[in-house]
Amino acid sequence: MLVSIVIPVFNRPEQVLRAARSVLAQHDRHGPWTTLEVLVVDDGSTDATPSVLDEIRDTRMQVLRHERNQGVSSARNTGLAAAQGEYLALLDSDDWWLPEKLTTHLAYHEAGGWRISQTDEIWIRRGHRVNPRAKHAKPEGWFFEDALKLCLVSPSCVLFDRRFWEEVGSFDPTLPACEDYDLWLRTLIRHPVGFCPERLVHKTGGHPDQLSRKIIGLDLYRIQALVKLLQTQVLSSSQRTATIRELHAKARVYISGCLKHDKPEEAERIKQWLGPLQGSPAW
């Protein structure tokens, strides 16, 4: 069995070295279950990242390079398109796996017959371990409505099969952020998501180059994802109602923020954009 792990990176030499090594150092406690294929996608790095990656001498790892920065969605898509594995996994360049992650996760995944599943994670913020809030607890199964409110699937924790990926589709490169929110919503109208409750991933945050810290107004991209969901996906009546309700809630927050920060033109643009949608409110 071949498992392909895709690691996108842009200007993170030390972090991607740690991430890649954490995958290459995976322990196999239950026999020869798999072969690893590690695909690091250098998304146009302009620092020492390319030279650091060249230092890793392991035939299981391949570095794919974009000539210019295209964003995390395109980088992941490039890696996944090149992957040869029966199973596919993701790891963000600033996160890393515990040595037993893949063995433990695969055993859970196959025992449950899941098409996609994730593990739990350890949160590291500004170098210190922190406890996630209750609302961030990962559920198992069909949790589409909960996932509308906030992203409940972590890219660095997921494992899925090739047929799943071909069915659900790729990350949306038009979304500079919240691209995972978009993908997991498309997932949850088709498949339940399994949850292995062991904390097998270190997930970092709070650093200056974190995408969620660099991009202002993340709710704009969540709104964009919800509009696309309504326009392109086949939803049940209850799913559509829940999506419209959450779209209204996020749009009100975003519009309020625009008005608070003296951006009435942007507030009006959102009102006009959402106006034609069925069920749109009187703002």
The series of mean pLDDT values per 10 residues for the chain, 283 residues long, is 96 97 84 78 98 94 97 98 97 97 96 98 93 93 97 98 96 95 98 98 76 65 96 96 95 94 94 78 53
Q: Which domain does 247 fall in, by range? A: 218-274
Q: What is the pTM of this model?
A: 0.92
Q: Are 86 and 161 in contact (CB under 8 A)?
A: yes
Structure-token pair, residue 149: 């409110």
Residue 136 has a CB neighbour count (10 Å cut-off) of 13
Alpha carbon distances (Å) from 51 to 54, 56, 71, 129, 266? 5, 9, 20, 30, 42
Q: Are 253 and 154 found together in one domain?
A: no
Residue 280 within a domain: no
- DSSP designation for 48: S
- Distance separating alpha carbons of residues 242 and 197, to the nearest angstrom: 27
Q: Is residue 18 part of a domain?
A: yes
Q: What pLDDT was estimated at residue 245?
A: 95
Total domain count, the chain: 2
What is the pLDDT, as a whole number, of residue 217?
Answer: 77
Domain end marker among 189, 214, 239: 214
> Cβ distance 1 to 24 under 8 Å?
no
* Same domain, residue pair 206 and 249: no
pLDDT at 35: 87
